[in-house]
Structures are given as structure tokens and as C-alpha cells.
Structure 1
């Protein structure tokens, strides 16, 4: 497996969970929280993240919340059964982040054609989006560096508009 940005190589924190079907807003809320963490969805009600103190704590909090909502959950620390399986999970996570970085690149291109005031608002939003993506980017794709360079170039092209 390629070196991870965080965590112990080969260790994963897994969350197996069941959430009541109704009300659906509770289920959707948990799904969104898991998406913000950048989990790999291994199956229905089973997600994984590279194991480190931060991801373990975040998964523990979500597991506790699931219990408070009337659901059930179990947190596991595990290793993939094979290097190929682990590489497949990492590739899935990398591809998801790559798509997010490509979206940032597209937004930078659009911002370059925008009016100065609009460009400033877009720049601020893109800088925040890069930070959000970075928090869930455990296996950085090539698009990460390209998106960071593009946002930096956009900021430098309009130094009086830089919002940090």
C-alpha cells in the first residue's frame, strides 16, 4: 500500500451501523457526516477510514450519535485481508477526492472569467473548499497539487482581492 498521509499503514477504523428508517432525516444526517469524513463505503452500513487518533475519535462520536438516535453501531480496528483489497479501498478514496479537486479546478477556470467582486467571493469559497477536501484526503491524488496551485494563482492574479 502507498504511504498514507495519516495513520498507521495497514490499520483501518471500521464503523458497522444500523439506523432506523424513520425519520429519514436522521439517516441522511449520519450519511452526510460520514461523507464529510471521506469514508470508504465497504457495504451497506459498513464504512472505513485509515486509523489514527483523529479518525478514531470522529468515528466514535458518530457511533455514539447513532446510538442516541435509536440505532446500533460497532467500531472496529482492522486490517484488510490482502494488499490488493487495501489498495482497492485506497484507490476508491483517492478517486473520490480527485473528482472533488477537479471540480475546484473547473471553478477556478470559471472564476478567472468573473468580475473582480465575484472572483473575490469565489476565491474565498475555493480556499475553504480546499481545506475541507484536505481534511478528508488520506491518499492525495495528483489533482490535489494542481487544485492548490490553481487557487494560489487565482489569489495572486488579484492580490487586492485575496481573502484568507
Structure 2
């Protein structure tokens, strides 16, 4: 989370209509950085070393590909504007985290469903382990863009921990069930010679 004396970067850009891949790449890069659009093709972000470096590289890429880009650094905004921007950033993170929490809920429901069915297979462990890894990467990306302490970030961390703990309990049940079954198959299939 950034302190009260944050500096800002404003990027205004124009890219050619074709090829559309440049426009999409610019948009995706900026969204991944967590910028807020204040109008079409004009976005603002807190000036952190990583954000500044990536936006400067993006500016060069736009200009290299026949586009136009103007990069401004702002020390201070007018009264109230900075708080409005912080609120916009937190609103954006809240929307992302609410979607993330929905993903966690689906994950927990899946584990609950498989547990209720007694479906304790290694296949389920692999599938749910991959889903948990996706949730962890997703949360890490959102948290990295949380410049101003989104109010539900703590809740999202707790829910991710709940997913991790629930998965570990499920995984131990699978290993207890499948490990026991594998041991029986192994012992029953042994040929004893004396």
C-alpha cells in the first residue's frame, strides 16, 4: 500500500485502428498494471518504479508502431481529486476481489461436492490443485494492483487461506483412501516364493 505522498503518472495515447493487436496489447498491459481510465485512452496510475518502467516501455512501443503517446507526471492533484482517484482505484479492486471471492466459493463448493460423493481420487486432487493454483495467481495479481488498501483485501486473503486448508484436508482424505487401496492392490498382487 502506498503512503499519502503518492506521485502519479498520466498516460494519454492514440494507436492506429489496424492492426488491432497493438490496441489490445496496450489495453491488456495497462489493465494488468491496475490503471484507472479517466476518459477514453487516458489513464492514471500511482508512480511506482514498476508502473513507471512499464508505462515508459509501453509509450515507446506505441510510438514505434505509428501511435502517439503523452506521459505526464503529477506531483499533486486539486483538492478532493486525489481522494476521488483513490476511491476509483479501490472500487476497481473491490470489483476484482468480489469476482475472486466468487471463484473461491465455487472452489469450496466443488471440494464439498466431491467430499459428499466420496470421490477421493488422485484425479480430483490434480484438478483441484490446479484450480487452487489459479486462485493463488489471480489473488497475487490483484493484490499487486492494490495501491490504496482495498477494504476487502483482508477478506479475500482469509478466503484464499480457507481454500488452501480445505484442499489440504481433501488431499489427505484422498491419500488415505487411495494409498490404502494401492497398498491392498500391491500386497494382493505380490507373488511369494519361498
TM-score range, shorter-chain basis? 0.7 to 0.9
Cα deviation digits, residues 47-105 of structure 1 (max 9, x gap): 11111222111110110111121101121111443231111111111111111111111
The size of the alignment, in residue pairs, is: 158
Q: Distance in 2 between matches of 1:46 and 1:79?
A: 18
| Distance in 1 between residues matched to 2:40 and 2:16, nearest whole Å | 14
Quote the Cα distance in structure 2 between the aligned partners of 1:8 and 1:55.
Answer: 17
Residue 30 (1) aligns with residue 26 (2): yes
Tell me which structure has the larger Cα radius of gyration. Answer: 2
Q: State which of 57, 63, 85 in structure 2 corresponds to 1:67.
A: 63
- Select 1:153's aligned residue among 147, 155, 162: 162
* Distance (Å, rounded) in 1 between the aligned partners of 2:19 and 2:84: 34
Pair 1:84 & 2:93 matched: no
Q: CA deviation at 1:136?
A: 1.3
Q: Relative to structure 1, is the Cα distance of residues 80 and 41 closer, same or farther in structure 2, using a 3 angstrom cutoff?
A: farther
Contact 1:7/1:52, CA 8 A, preserved across alignment:
no
- Aligned position for 1:113: 109
Q: Residue 144 of structure 2 aligns with which residue?
A: 135
Structure 1: segments with no counterpart, 5+ residues: none
Bigger helix fraction? 2
Divergent runs of 4+, >6 A: none
- For 2:94 and 2:8, locate their aligned partners in 1 and report how far apart those are by CA, in whole Å: 21
- 1:144 is aligned, of 133, 140, 153, to 153
What is the CA RMSD across the aligned residues, in angstroms? 1.9
Unmatched 5+ stretches in structure 2: 115-123, 173-194
